[in-house]
Structure 1
Amino acid sequence: MKIENKSANSFFNTKRRYIKIAVYAVILLALGIALLAEKRPEALWVLAITVCVLSYEVYHIRKSRKEFVGYIEHLDFCLNDNSRGTLFNYPAPLVVTNMAGEITWYNDNFRKAVDQSGLFGTKVSELVPEIQISKFTQSDEHTRINIKIGENHYEVWGNVARANTTKPSGRSDLVVIYFIDKTEEVHAIKLREDERMIECVVIIDNYDEVLKETADSNHGALLGEIEQKVNAWVALGNGILRKYERDKFIVFFSNKDFAKIMENKFSVLDEVRAINFENKIPVTLSIGVGKSGADAMENDKYARLAIDMALGRGGDQVVIREGENFRFFGAKTREVEKRTKVKARVVAHALRELIDHSGKVFIMGHTSSDMDSIGASIGLFKAVKSRGKDAYIISNRQTSNAKLLIDEFSKLSEYEDAFISSEQALNLFNTESLVIVVDVHRPGMVECSELLQHAKEIVLIDHHRRSEDFIEKAVLIYHEPYASSTCEMITEILQYIQDGQRLNKMEAEALYAGIYMDTKGFTFKAGVRTFEAASYLRRMGVDTVSVRRLFKTDLQNYVAKADIIKTAEIYRENIAFSYLYEECPNISVTVAQAADELLDISGIEASFVIAKNGNRVMISGRSLETVNVQVILEKLGGGGHITIAGAQLDDVSIEEATDMLKNAIDEVLSQ
């Protein structure tokens, strides 16, 4: 016969039944004696009932014992000698269930582990949710899972004990689940992980600039206050601090103590920024953290990569490199302009050497090129031609937002064959060719990504804040997030790359247009060097009215921009959202201009415009520095600057993109 769970239940509950029977019998017997003492006839009936109850319970107990013997025989048939030894002598928690996961037997260690009793017939998943019986019954091999019960950690194994088919029929399979206590091992691993060292590199971003703008008499007090703030921050995490250069520190924390620093959300950035000794420029720090490396050397490598990333994103932030992933904190201020042009001169000389030793030169920017990308490409085209080399600008006219500029230059004899497609570039390319990438540093966003794979020498010139995805194989990198535009950077390079270099009027206007666009008419990120570059271009013959004409739009786009602004809605009290559902020519320009104008609304600190563009949804973000739109749109695969950023999403609706954007905003602003 098939042994049911009630067999075990009835036997193991016998003790409980004895107590109940004894109570009932005493009550009935007392009642019978009382009635008998009064010589009432009901006494005989009560005594008779008492005898019947006792007789039935004796019969029931014997039957339960008999069934339990059958139950044990069932276990005997299902388990071999080794399994039986394990079952009855196992020193850790062990439980046996039927194929439905209902408990048919368990040892005392299991009862203590779950801190319950009377478990027969209970599903094991109700006691330990991580244990799903199907994990064991649907696999022919032993299955292992790791769980935690209370304060103890266990490695749980389970397998099916098949009924012995050579024995009498009526037997069913059982599942044996046994626990291996891993608590000490887990604690040892955690202790080792807690004690692992984390390396941090701390750099004062604008050391020279701050001291230049601070009275000499305050230098000592200012630097002392900076070091005091850094020391206090390190002490918060019981760290070790060493200063190895005038503006650089190295710090070591244990993993456990670094968790306290994380909880504090790197308040040292705000504390240092608030230092005031009549310094006109606020002091900012960049911190690169290396953790989870295989050893100290790898953590040091991670810390160096993290600090490079932090500086490439404009400083005033913390970047954590954990394995292959980056995490970002801070970035609340805009970049501080570097006054010196030494780097521009060094880059110009290095670029000149690369051009002179190359064959053809291919210049390209990002997809959906704009005025800054095309203007910078035209400036470099001029420089390459002045060195006597063949140059080409890779651009897709159909998707470009600077189509008018491209068309105007294509009419000039010197530029008649300058603009080529990606297919043409691949046909013309050879091993001696040089590739120059401008206004973008992400390999997946260039006009012709295949060219990067074939090129031996790549030059990268960009002003966008660095993202995780970076063109690493470049032999020359000029990446300055403080710059207003790539055209500003190229304008400076042109002054050093060739003695007596002169731009014609249209070339100067192309560069000026790039600066004008990225600075929103010299209102955003326009520093001293921005105006110096504009002044140089003005001397080359720039007509500002002609530049203005390059930004004219048709009536359809103007109406679309008005519709975007008209349908704006407010999110989180200071963020404007708006949408464009119908496609229109030059949609990127229209969306960007609408996002700019939404910032003119009183109380608005940031704006986002979401528009459908073919199979993609494009998002344009703008802010007044209080909200970092770059970090927000990086969550969606985009990037840019603290005040100007964008992203493109494939195969999503505008509504889905809006939800994703709001989640990203909530995540960033909650930090």
Structure 2
Amino acid sequence: MKEKQSIASKLYLVIFLLSLILLFYNIPLGCLGVLLCGICFWRDSQEEKQSNLRLQKAIETIYGDIDRLNQERMYELPIALVIVNEDGQICWYNQYFDRNFKKKDTAANFFGKKIQEELGIDLETLLREKEQEFNHKDTDYTIVSNSFSDGDETLILLHFFDVTIQKKQQEIYKENEPVFCYILIDNYDDIIEQLPSHERSAVLSQIDLKINEWAKTVGAVIIQYENDHYLMIFEKEKLRAMEEERFRILDEIRETETEEKSQVTLSIGIGVSDEPLAIREADELSHAALDIALARGGDQAVVRQDEKMAFYGGTTEATEKRTKVKARVKAHGLRELIRESDNVLIMGHQTPDMDCLGAAVGLLGACKALNKTGKIVIKEINYSIKELFQYLMENDEYRESFIKPKEAEDYITPNTLLIIVDTQNANYLEVPELIEEIEKIVVIDHHRRSGKFIEKTVLNYTEAYASSTCELITELLQYLDEKESMNETEANALMAGMCMDTKMFTFKTGVRTFEAASYLRRKGADTIIAKTMLQDDLATYSTRSEAVRNAKIYFDSIAISQLENESEYAKIIAAQAADELLNIKGINASFILLKSGSGLVISGRSMGEVNVQLILEKMGGGGHLAIAGAQLPDINDLDVGKQMLLDAIEEYMKEREEK
């Protein structure tokens, strides 16, 4: 059409020019030509306007039909739609919205009512995030908002998409997604070494049969991929039943009889997540859970759900390893790490004790033997390490070996090695910031793993069977292959730490404990010096005696006492009082609740029959079967803390009776 208009315009222009030329020769004819040209041009213009008007009306008619069609379809659309203003007042809604959200037995409509009040929707959040999950009468919706203008007013169109089926499918998938479960026979090597061949086969057959029968009960697929390792795969929904029965396979395996009367135990690791996991990620999470179970001494199942962990079992003390191959391998690894570093920083837990400081001093000897600068990072000298620190200060060699946290920053290089001793919980570190600033981290500890443990390590030597960290350090130094790795002062520091944690070799001692002590004696350690360092002053002894005197017996054999003390030595006194209570006939476990400036602290001790670790883990603490602790920073009332402790003990007793 535009091409026709262009041709006509050119034709009129030619006629108009010819008429102008004709005026020079014949004025009447020229005027007639100009007049005819104007008339024709005007008539075509009018026809074009009429044509445009007809076209515009046709378009408006079409758009009107489309609008009416859209309105009808929106009203009949099987998706709930509603239009509200900025205040949430309902301006329009379709029949699906009316049918699904109108209250029964009422004819009232929604017009003019606020959607926040009618359905409980958080409109402000919805407008900000554009989407919102919503549930109404067991139906799940995803609400999507779109804003538009109607003159001067802004309106919001809300789409209610029914996602109930998708939600149910997701739940079904979550329940049926595969879970990896790693199982390890803890003392397989002992079974092979100690039992005669005919009994060995019988015991291993019993273990294999019990594990496979357990797998059948949960409908799992199980593979024995090494002599002492199993991989079990099952549906996630089965995990709930396993947890409810508290992994009875642990008790069944423990009941396996051998002529040597030694207990057979398992370690189990299971990793799950609230979010969908790739096969590789699920496998890695379960492997990490097994590592945690082993680090805690074995004989237990660890279920790791993202960063949360649940522990089952762990009712027996960790078995002492007869072989020292692991210690030798770790010692060689530590030696190479020290050699390759620029310098070494050594750090323990908050309020360090003699085991912590003794282990750190022992590592100083390793650094000196390898010609590396070693520094111990410590905030302040507390009562527990005061005597040992004064003993070290008598030797000029150690006066420059201790630095404050602020000074540590001056020693950090890209190649600094950080060695953490006597803890693996990131929350209990003397200076937690250092693990973020230093890449190479070594952890050496004898506690069972719990809480927020340090994952980013280049070497981790954790043995829950060991009496003390000093015992582990002594073994490492024996295999360091350096003649001057320990002098007499360092030997005494290690001996003092070992004596403290073993209560002068009367508690949690094994063959390897005495072997380590013998090595220290050969290096010049003197138990009299250690005993002197462990002596208390009269005021401390009196406070401790008061805590013992105020103790009350619960559950026939568990002593609980309360102590309110604001001194810097309060935590040490509480721990000592808990130890002292075990010397009283008939007491199998003891707990001291201490109220100090930082809330409540609980020290737990046991003769072995009661697992104080499992009890205090219920209160956010941890430790060993026989030595454990917990901190309640938000609780300042001793009676409230005591009731919480009694509830945890009662829960533990019920769980033990159910087994």
Under TM normalisation by the shorter chain, which class is it?
0.7 to 0.9
The alignment partner of 1:557 has SS state of: helix
How far apart, CA to CA, are the structure 2 residues paired with 1:484 and 1:551? Answer: 17
The alignment partner of 1:436 has SS state of: strand
Q: Which residue of 1 aligns with 2:58?
A: none
Moved over 6 A (4+): 80-88, 90-96, 105-114, 120-123, 136-143, 156-159, 175-180
How far apart, CA to CA, are the structure 2 residues paired with 1:604 and 1:90? Answer: 75
Q: Is structure 2 residue 500 aligned with structure 1 residue 512?
A: no
Q: Which residue of 1 aligns with 2:31?
A: none
How far apart, CA to CA, are the structure 2 residues paired with 1:489 and 1:195? Answer: 44
- The amino acid of 1:367's aligned partner reads Q
Q: Is structure 2 residue 475 aligned with structure 1 residue 492?
A: yes
Match of 1:403 among 378, 386, 400: 386
The alignment partner of 2:298 has SS state of: coil
Match of 2:356 among 359, 373, 388: 373
Deviation sequence 1:171-202 (CA, Å, 0-9, x none): xxxx9999865543333223322321111111
How far apart, CA to CA, are the structure 2 residues paired with 1:419 and 1:544? Answer: 25
- The amino acid of 1:618's aligned partner reads V
**CA offset at residue 340 of structure 1?**
0.9
CA contact (8 A) 1:289 1:306 kept: yes
Match of 2:322 among 334, 339, 344: 339
Q: Is structure 2 residue 577 aligned with structure 1 residue 591?
A: no
How far apart, CA to CA, are the structure 2 residues paired with 1:131 and 1:628? Answer: 54
Percent same amino acid at aligned positions? 39
Q: Which residue of 1 aligns with 2:515?
A: 532
CA contact (8 A) 1:136 1:158 kept: no
Match of 2:213 among 232, 244, 249: 232
How far apart, CA to CA, are the structure 1 residues paired with 2:200 and 2:346? Answer: 45
CA contact (8 A) 1:204 1:247 kept: yes
Deviation sequence 1:296-347 (CA, Å, 0-9, x none): 2211111111111111111111112223332221111110011111121222
1:199-238 matches, cutoff 5 A: 199-238=180-219
CA contact (8 A) 1:495 1:501 kept: no
Q: Is structure 2 residue 284 aligned with structure 1 residue 284?
A: no
Q: For residues 135 and 490 of structure 1, do their structure 2 counterparts lie closer, same or farther at Cα, with a shift above 3 Å needed?
A: closer
Q: Is structure 2 residue 532 aligned with structure 1 residue 553?
A: no
Deviation sequence 1:122-170 (CA, Å, 0-9, x none): 99xxxxxx98547469977998554374xx53438699xxxx99xxxxx
The alignment partner of 2:594 has SS state of: strand
How far apart, CA to CA, are the structure 2 residues paired with 1:573 and 1:143? Answer: 58
**CA offset at residue 285 of structure 1?**
0.5
Q: Which residue of 1 aligns with 2:593?
A: 610
1:29-108 matches, cutoff 5 A: none
Q: Which residue of 2 aligns with 1:430?
A: 413
Q: Which residue of 2 aligns with 1:147?
A: 135
| TM-score when normalising by structure 2 | 0.76
Deviation sequence 1:438-458 (CA, Å, 0-9, x none): 111223323233333333432
The alignment partner of 1:497 has SS state of: coil
Q: For residues 355 and 145 of structure 1, do their structure 2 counterparts lie closer, same or farther at Cα, with a shift above 3 Å needed?
A: closer
**Greater mean deviation of Cα atoms: 439-448 or 133-142:** 133-142
How far apart, CA to CA, are the structure 2 residues paired with 1:371 and 1:139? Answer: 58
How far apart, CA to CA, are the structure 1 residues paired with 2:168 and 2:634? Answer: 46
**Greater mean deviation of Cα atoms: 220-229 or 528-537:** 528-537
Match of 1:262 among 224, 232, 243: 243
Q: For residues 134 and 82 of structure 1, do their structure 2 counterparts lie closer, same or farther at Cα, with a shift above 3 Å needed?
A: farther
**Greater mean deviation of Cα atoms: 517-526 or 550-559:** 517-526
Q: Which residue of 1 aligns with 2:283?
A: 300
Q: Which residue of 2 aligns with 1:47?
A: none
- The amino acid of 1:434's aligned partner reads L
Q: Which residue of 1 aligns with 2:447?
A: 464
Q: Which residue of 2 aligns with 1:382?
A: 365
How far apart, CA to CA, are the structure 2 residues paired with 1:193 and 1:488? Answer: 46
Q: Which residue of 2 aligns with 1:350?
A: 333
The alignment partner of 2:231 has SS state of: strand
How far apart, CA to CA, are the structure 1 residues paired with 2:399 and 2:133? Answer: 68
Deviation sequence 1:24-48 (CA, Å, 0-9, x none): xxxxxxxxxxxxxxxxxxxxxxxxx
Q: Which residue of 2 aligns with 1:445?
A: 428
Q: Is structure 2 residue 165 aligned with structure 1 residue 184?
A: yes
Q: Which residue of 2 aligns with 1:34?
A: none
Deviation sequence 1:216-242 (CA, Å, 0-9, x none): 321111000001110111001110011
Q: Which residue of 2 aligns with 1:198?
A: 179
CA contact (8 A) 1:205 1:283 kept: yes
**CA offset at residue 414 of structure 1?**
1.9
The alignment partner of 1:401 has SS state of: helix
Q: Which residue of 1 aligns with 2:629?
A: 646
Match of 2:256 among 259, 268, 275: 275
CA contact (8 A) 2:343 2:372 kept: yes
- The amino acid of 2:271's aligned partner reads G
CA contact (8 A) 2:144 2:158 kept: yes
The alignment partner of 1:578 has SS state of: strand
Q: Number of paired residues?
A: 576
Q: For residues 353 and 185 of structure 1, do their structure 2 counterparts lie closer, same or farther at Cα, with a shift above 3 Å needed?
A: closer
How far apart, CA to CA, are the structure 2 residues paired with 1:94 and 1:433? Answer: 63
How far apart, CA to CA, are the structure 2 residues paired with 1:255 and 1:396? Answer: 46
- The amino acid of 2:353's aligned partner reads D
- The amino acid of 1:411's aligned partner reads E
CA contact (8 A) 1:367 1:400 kept: no
- The amino acid of 1:213's aligned partner reads Q
Q: For residues 194 and 574 of structure 1, do their structure 2 counterparts lie closer, same or farther at Cα, with a shift above 3 Å needed?
A: same
- The amino acid of 1:409's aligned partner reads L
Q: For residues 229 and 135 of structure 1, do their structure 2 counterparts lie closer, same or farther at Cα, with a shift above 3 Å needed?
A: same
The alignment partner of 1:189 has SS state of: helix
Q: For residues 351 and 563 of structure 1, do their structure 2 counterparts lie closer, same or farther at Cα, with a shift above 3 Å needed?
A: same
- The amino acid of 1:221's aligned partner reads A
How far apart, CA to CA, are the structure 1 residues paired with 2:642 and 2:159? Answer: 49
- The amino acid of 1:192's aligned partner reads Y
Q: Which residue of 1 aligns with 2:8?
A: none
1:119-198 matches, cutoff 5 A: 133=120, 135=122, 145-147=133-135, 149=137, 153-155=139-141, 182-198=163-179
- The amino acid of 1:412's aligned partner reads N
The alignment partner of 1:319 has SS state of: strand
Q: For residues 398 and 106 of structure 1, do their structure 2 counterparts lie closer, same or farther at Cα, with a shift above 3 Å needed?
A: same
CA contact (8 A) 1:221 1:277 kept: no
Q: For residues 323 and 391 of structure 1, do their structure 2 counterparts lie closer, same or farther at Cα, with a shift above 3 Å needed?
A: closer
Match of 1:454 among 426, 437, 440: 437
The alignment partner of 1:449 has SS state of: coil
CA contact (8 A) 2:346 2:421 kept: yes
- The amino acid of 2:191's aligned partner reads V
**CA offset at residue 413 of structure 1?**
2.1
| TM-score when normalising by structure 1 | 0.75
**CA offset at residue 289 of structure 1?**
1.0
How far apart, CA to CA, are the structure 2 residues paired with 1:666 and 1:230? Answer: 31
